Structure 1
Amino acid sequence: MRHIFRGTVAALALWAGTAQAETLADALVDGYNSSGLIEQNRATLRAADENVAQAVATLRPVLSWSASLERSFTSAEVATAGLLGTTVERLEANSDELAVGLSLTQTLWDSGARRLAIEAQKETVLATRESLRDIERQVLLRIVSAYQEVRRARAFVGLRENNVRVIGEELRAAQDRFEVGEVTRTDVALAEAELAAARSNLVAAQGDLATAIEDFRAFVGRAPGDLEPPPFATIPSAPAEAEAIALRSYPELLQVQHQVAAAEIAISATRAQQRPTVALSGGISLSRESDALGELAEAPNTGVAQVGVSVEGPIYRGGAGASEVRQSRAQRDEARASLIEVSRGVVQAVGTAYANLEVARASRSAFSEQVRAAQIAFEGVREEATLGARTTLDVLDAEQELLDARASLVDAEINEALATYQILSAAGLLSAQTLGLNVQVYDPSAYYDLVDDAPSAASRQGRALDRVLQSIGQGN
């Protein structure tokens, strides 16, 4: 696959060093580095990595502590018989009890449900990685499109400005000829109407340019400079080759494949959850209690230790267990059907992209010839008009045809260049690596390798994770 992009990378490297004007590589680098959407999905991937760590943690013992302090108040009346009669005395006392304890639980056997959950989460991580790749592909294609749309809008504004200038000249010439009686007032009015229409079209083109600039700002993070024409991307030589590459590497397709795998595992995990589990539990507690009557002497410390094995499993859950299994199978079937649709969509997108390229190439060739012919025709009609053989309307019509031909040629040239990048995108090959962009490429496995064994916060690995999060601005 590497050889496919050799020409593209070399070209990008060549115009990345040009200082006079901004290149597509400059825009791609700035847009990639400043994309909030990419950062958002990188954080989503890190969250998915943590799901693996949490699933791993379920295989380990759970050790917890408890502490309690309880005070009780006692009030009693004591009757005492004596020589002078019965006396009643109220006695009040309080007692304190302090208790601390440790408990431990460990699942010994659960039919593999927890290990299956780990495998399902791993597939989800792989799917999320492909989702991140797909987001990066979309961001890069949007930048390319925004870059080209600014170039297109600027070219159209230039053409409209030139059109206003030329028609203005024709209007002045018509007025001069009207004054000497060579043309009628109608010719002048036609030129005035065409000039007004040209100015209106110029304003519309300027509005389109303002919109294109704002789109560029949104995708790149800044306003565009003086944009150079980008090189064409080097693409697979035939649609069949691009389709084969897409079916192997298109991010969304790989994402759905991992989702199907996770759904398959989920069926087995759901069935395992219906079976008995065996767990080991143990604990130790210490308590100290004062005399309930409030005497100075205290009861001795009391210590209790316990250990046990428990077996539990569902007998009847009202049909919920069977429903959960059926639901898992339905979700698997949904993922499989989605895989079919995505596969077909990938093939269709590649074919459409190549068709657009062929149309743009043919259009560029045809419009180039049309511009040549329209230029000759316009110059001839204008010369004939000075000799009285043509009317002002003829000149204006020839100017409009030349303008339309030039606009169509600009449109076709930009569409042709854009189509090459759309082909890369459709084949799943549009990425910072394949374009050779000077950016720090995100390594999706780096964070995963730090968390996949669920390190504690106090461990060396846990502290390393804190530093990683702080370095990307996510730490607290």
Structure 2
Amino acid sequence: MIVTNLFRSARRLSAAALLALGTALPVQAETLADALVSAYRNAGLIDKNAAALRAADEDVAQALAALRPIIDYTASITRTWQFPNDRTVNTATGPQRIENTAETSTSIGISANLLLWDGGATRLRGDVARELVLATRQGLINAEQQVLLNGVLAYLGVREAIAFVNLRQSNVQLISEQLRAAQDRFEVGEVTRTDVAVAEAALASARSNLALARGDLEQARADFVRFVGRQPGQLQDVSAPAPAAGSLDAAQRVARRSHPLIRQQMRLVTVGDLNVLRAEAAMKPSISANARVSVADEFGEQASVGVTMTGPIYRGGQLSSLYRQAVANRDETRADLHITTDDVLQRVAQAWAQLTVSRARIQASQLEVRAATLAFRSVQEEVRFGTRTTLDVLDAEQDLQDARANLISSRIAEIRASYQLLSSMGLLTVEHLNLPVVTYDPSAYYNAVKTAPVRKVSPQGEKLDLLLKSLGKN
């Protein structure tokens, strides 16, 4: 009777442990999408990169401002004192004393300067600024991918840790029942004291593993708080997303087109080309128009209009050095593009291999669990006839626990590899995952500042103030 009850308990606990990842959860349980939305909203990395993007947007406005008239005013007031060395002078009427004098002069003027031509250097500066904006936008997308991937890994880490805690708890319960059965059989003389000691040692080991699993769960929860921004609730089961590519070659082709790091580096290559043209333009003369109007006490009103041309004659080789440096920097960005592309494609290949291996491991682990379950039940039956010992039962039970642990890890590894593959392809974004979250719009701020509006003066400036307030940055 004792062995029969033990068999029924083991079968019941085995089913509970095997379904640790797929237990029916209440409707209010948290989903992976919920965690990713929270991760995005609480990510400082998104705010950091969004701020960097706004700073890059301002470079476009500053480049445009350089093509507009520059108007300055000057105002001065001067007090002048005179202290003659010779205090007396001879006049027809005799010597006269010269007193100290003081005069006050004022002037006010307005000057305007407009760049007419500089070989395209200023225009190229604007082109560089716009390319850097596009490159920085890709950096924001890459940050978004990092945030979402960290959220996925944190969610799966908690799920895996909970599954292992459940597995270790069922193991402790099962071995506890085995220990009670061994003690009962020892009381009636069916087994020796050694069988009881073996069961006691196995129970101590199971409790140790349970404590370790609980420690891993606490660490996983801490990671969840770090990347998601709050404590995890009751987490729903999650399955691997639908494959985004049918083969490794197809996945790598998508990565070449979509990965933000590759697209960012392509923009930087364009920036390198433009900087070479800027270095060439710096060797050309520039022409500007200027005008000035001033009013002064001693001179009255003055006005002037002119055109000025300036250009380099000799600067000690500085301009040639700047050109060579621009060429070298351009070559470096081209090499960086090659390196970045290779790195991205390698990560795609690694994620694809991990996904393939995890799926194969799931199939093997399922077979292993079935075989270990059958072996465990057979050993338990053989114990009834005295052909097996308690140690044999514990060994078989340990093999079953190892098989279940492998199955849990394999299932989690498949989901983890699926999302890592999406990230390596450049598809782990809010848009691709269709998450219900309002993302940062990179074009809103750019459109507000690209014409270089003056704050609180122009209508565009007033709109910019409202936008800044909505971002919480004013």
TM-score of the superposed pair, with normalisation by structure 1:
0.89
2:253 equivalent to 1:244: yes
Identity %: 47
Which whole-Å CA distance do the structure 1 matches of 2:90 and 2:337 have between them?
93
Which whole-Å CA distance do the structure 1 matches of 2:400 and 2:239 have between them?
27
1:270 maps to 279
Query: 1:79, 1:86 within 8 Å by CA — same for their partners in 2?
Result: no
**Residue pairs, 1:33-44, within 5 angstroms:** 33-44=41-52
**Residue pairs, 1:440-451, within 5 angstroms:** 440-451=438-449
Q: 1:259 aligns with which of 262, 268, 276?
A: 268
Which whole-Å CA distance do the structure 2 matches of 1:79 and 1:322 have between them?
64
Q: Which amino acid aligns with 2:255?
A: A
Which whole-Å CA distance do the structure 2 matches of 1:359 and 1:324 have between them?
52
2:154 maps to 146
Which stretches in structure 1 are left out of the alignment for 5+ residues?
1-17, 289-299
RMSD: 2.0
2:463 equivalent to 1:464: yes
1:373 maps to 371
Deviates more, 1:26-35 or 1:228-237: 228-237
Query: 1:106, 1:279 within 8 Å by CA — same for their partners in 2?
Result: yes
Deviations 1:110-168 (A, max 9, x none): 10001111111111111111111111112111111111111001101111111112122
Deviations 1:42-91 (A, max 9, x none): 11111111101111111111101111122223345643789xx9988572
Q: Describe the shift of the 1:213–1:177 C-alpha distance in structure 2 as closer, same or farther (beyond 3 A).
A: same
SS state at 2:80 partner: strand
Q: Which amino acid aligns with 1:467?
A: L
Which whole-Å CA distance do the structure 1 matches of 2:98 and 2:193 have between them?
124
Q: Which amino acid aligns with 1:252?
A: L
**Residue pairs, 1:52-201, within 5 angstroms:** 52-76=60-84, 78-79=87-88, 89=97, 91-201=99-209
2:313 equivalent to 1:323: no
2:282 equivalent to 1:283: no
Query: Deviation of residue 264 (structure 1)?
Result: 0.4
1:9 maps to none
SS state at 1:305 partner: strand
Query: Deviation of residue 319 (structure 1)?
Result: 1.6
Q: Describe the shift of the 1:80–1:136 C-alpha distance in structure 2 as closer, same or farther (beyond 3 A).
A: closer
SS state at 1:259 partner: helix
Q: Which amino acid aligns with 2:230?
A: R
Q: Which amino acid aligns with 1:280?
A: A
Which whole-Å CA distance do the structure 1 matches of 2:106 and 2:88 have between them?
33
2:23 maps to none
Q: Which amino acid aligns with 2:447?
A: D
SS state at 2:305 partner: strand
Which stretches in structure 2 are left out of the alignment for 5+ residues?
1-25
Which whole-Å CA distance do the structure 2 matches of 1:342 and 1:221 have between them?
31
Deviations 1:186-209 (A, max 9, x none): 322222222222222111111111
Query: Deviation of residue 25 (structure 1)?
Result: 1.0
Query: 2:31, 2:236 within 8 Å by CA — same for their partners in 1?
Result: yes
Deviates more, 1:390-399 or 1:68-77: 68-77
Query: 2:109, 2:295 within 8 Å by CA — same for their partners in 1?
Result: yes
**Residue pairs, 1:219-234, within 5 angstroms:** 219-234=227-242
Which whole-Å CA distance do the structure 1 matches of 2:378 and 2:366 have between them?
19
SS state at 1:91 partner: coil
Query: 2:89, 2:98 within 8 Å by CA — same for their partners in 1?
Result: no
Which whole-Å CA distance do the structure 2 matches of 1:387 and 1:173 have between them?
15
Query: 1:174, 1:188 within 8 Å by CA — same for their partners in 2?
Result: yes
Q: Which amino acid aligns with 2:262?
A: L
Q: Which amino acid aligns with 1:127?
A: A
Deviations 1:421-444 (A, max 9, x none): 222222111211111111113321
Q: Describe the shift of the 1:284–1:382 C-alpha distance in structure 2 as closer, same or farther (beyond 3 A).
A: same
Number of corresponding residues: 445
1:296 maps to none
Q: Which amino acid aligns with 1:118?
A: G
Q: 2:415 aligns with which of 401, 414, 417?
A: 417
Which whole-Å CA distance do the structure 1 matches of 2:284 and 2:310 have between them?
9
TM-score of the superposed pair, with normalisation by structure 2:
0.89
Deviations 1:305-349 (A, max 9, x none): 222222221222222111111111111111111111222222222
Deviates more, 1:229-238 or 1:252-261: 229-238
2:217 equivalent to 1:218: no
Q: Which amino acid aligns with 1:149?
A: G
Which whole-Å CA distance do the structure 2 matches of 1:20 and 1:282 have between them?
72
SS state at 1:237 partner: coil
Query: 1:75, 1:90 within 8 Å by CA — same for their partners in 2?
Result: no
